[in-house]
Structures are given as C-alpha cells and as structure tokens.
C-alpha cells in the first residue's frame, strides 16, 4: 500500500502536522510569523547549495535554516529592528538561492517544486525522514513545554523561575529550522508559514488551553492535508497550495463557529 503515491503523500502530510501543530501554536502566541517566513525563504538557498555540493536536500536546507535563525537571533539581540532585519534576510536569501541555482550547470530540477511543494512526489525514504523529523520536533517541544509556555507568557516570570528566555527562544529556533527542512518538499518555502499559522489560528478560536490548542492545531493540520489532497485529485490542482487553501477554509469555519457559540 505504501507504494501508492497518494498514500505516501497522506502519510507525509499527516506526519508533518505533528511538528507544525504544537510549533505553530508557539508561532501564533509569540507572533513569530515573519520569523517563520524568513527561515522558510532561506531554505531555497539551502536547496541550491544542496544541488551544488551534492548534498541531501534535507541536510542543505536544515543547515541554511539554522544559520538564518542563529543570525536573526544574534542581530536582533544587538538592537536591530526585527521586522526590517527579517525582511532583508528573507528576501536576500531567497534571491541568492534563485541566483545560485541559475549558475549550477546541468541543474534540471524545477525549483518551483521547492517554492510551492510537491507532496505527490515524496518517496518512502522522504516519508521516513518527515516522520522522524516531526517526532524530534514534537519531543523537543514536549521536553521544554512548561519552560516555553512560561517564557512566552512573561519573560520576567521565566527569569524569576530560574529559566533563560533566550535559551527557550533557541529551542523554538531549532524546532522551526528542523520543521522547515522536512516541510519544504510538501508545501514549499512560500507556504510553510501558512501551514504553521492557519491550523494553529483555527484551533485557537475554540481551544480552552494551550495543550488543547496544540492538539487541535495538529488535528486541523491533518484534516487540511487530507482535504487538500482530495481537492488536488478532484480538480487537478497543485497539492501544496490546495492543502493551505483547505487550512484557510477551516480557519474561516472556526471563526464562524466561535461567533455562533
């Protein structure tokens, strides 16, 4: 059954939501949407470098995503305006990635697959990597859950409790970089942030607590994957954008449900 491309796509997408659900909740709580965008856009540079040096896509993407995240953390700590810094780094990394790809002789890969995703082309090895990466992100967040929550709610309270808010921020940075690396084949660099934010935002409308919201975001994300794949198959639409569109519809439904409750 796993040889069927649609089954592989469904398993890959659902596996990814175990990372994007809880991580997306923190992205929403901490208003890190633009940070996620910058890290995802930088992933295209990682794709280009992977082809140039003959590396695995996941290795190159993770390395560049981590470098971007650490760079942002260092520069923002020195007083630079965060929104301007993210905008500069995100678009510069995306541009350099596309330019670098144009200089790689013999490159026959359509980079649009990495911009918008190609979940229907994932292999069995990809499914294993995605599930392993998502499990690692989920375990990392579960390990630091209480500390991350405390630092998110109030940094001064976190410091009074013996926590280091910057260390907790580093945990989220690492988790985000790893998620971007495993998500790039599914929804692509331009849509990763949407898959992080939309399910979490939908779950937030009805959630009664942080843990419920994290589980709810995972459920909404999984439903978005299945609905998006079904829509892609039915109307011959691109799968990655269809998944994000399904998540947007579920977010709109959650808004209506909240108004009626």
- 203-258 pLDDT tens trace: 998 888 999 999 999 999 999 999 999 999 999 999 999 999 999 999 999 999 88
Do 171 and 148 meet the contact criterion of CB atoms below 8 Å apart?
yes
Which of 66-70, 103-107, 165-169, 192-196 is the least confident region?
A: 103-107
pLDDT, residue 110, reads 67
Query: Mean pLDDT score of the chain, rounded to an integer?
Result: 88
Q: Is the pLDDT of residue 7 over 80?
A: yes
What is the mean pLDDT of the segment spanning 108-114? Answer: 72
What is the distance of C-alpha 27 from the center of its chain?
Answer: 10
Domains of the chain: 5-189 (1.10.3470.10)
What is the mean pLDDT of the segment spanning 126-143? Answer: 95
Which of 70-84, 111-125, 157-171, 239-253 is the least confident region?
A: 70-84
pLDDT, residue 106, reads 61
Distance from C-alpha of 227 to C-alpha of 56, rounded to nearest angstrom? 30
Percentage of the chain exceeding pLDDT 90:
47
Do 120 and 9 meet the contact criterion of CB atoms below 8 Å apart?
yes
């Amino acid at each position: 059954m796993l040889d069927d491309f649609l089954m592989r796509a469904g398993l890959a997408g659902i596996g990814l939501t175990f990372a994007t659900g809880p991580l997306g909740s923190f992205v929403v709580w901490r208003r890190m949407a633009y940070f996620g965008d910058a890290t995802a856009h930088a992933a295209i540079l990682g794709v280009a470098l992977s082809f140039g040096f003959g590396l695995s896509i996941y290795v190159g993407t993770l390395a560049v995503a981590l470098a971007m995240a650490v760079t942002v953390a260092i520069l923002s700590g020195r007083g630079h305006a965060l929104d301007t810094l993210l905008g500069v780094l995100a678009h510069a990394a995306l541009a350099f990635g596309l330019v670098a790809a144009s200089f790689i002789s013999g490159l026959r890969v359509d980079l649009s697959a990495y911009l918008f995703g190609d979940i229907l082309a994932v292999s069995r090895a990809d499914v294993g990597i995605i599930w392993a990466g998502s499990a690692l992100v989920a375990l990392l967040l579960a390990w630091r859950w209480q500390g991350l929550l405390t630092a998110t709610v109030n940094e001064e309270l976190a410091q009074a409790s013996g926590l280091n808010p910057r260390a907790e921020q580093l945990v989220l940075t690492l988790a985000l970089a790893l998620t971007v690396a495993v998500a790039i084949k599914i929804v692509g660099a331009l849509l990763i942030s949407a898959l992080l934010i939309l399910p979490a935002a939908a779950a937030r409308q009805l959630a009664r607590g942080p843990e419920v919201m994290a589980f709810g975001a995972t459920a909404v994300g999984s439903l978005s994957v299945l609905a998006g794949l079904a829509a892609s198959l039915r109307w011959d639409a691109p799968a990655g954008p269809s998944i994000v569109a399904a998540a947007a519809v579920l977010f709109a439904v959650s808004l209506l449900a909240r108004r009626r409750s």
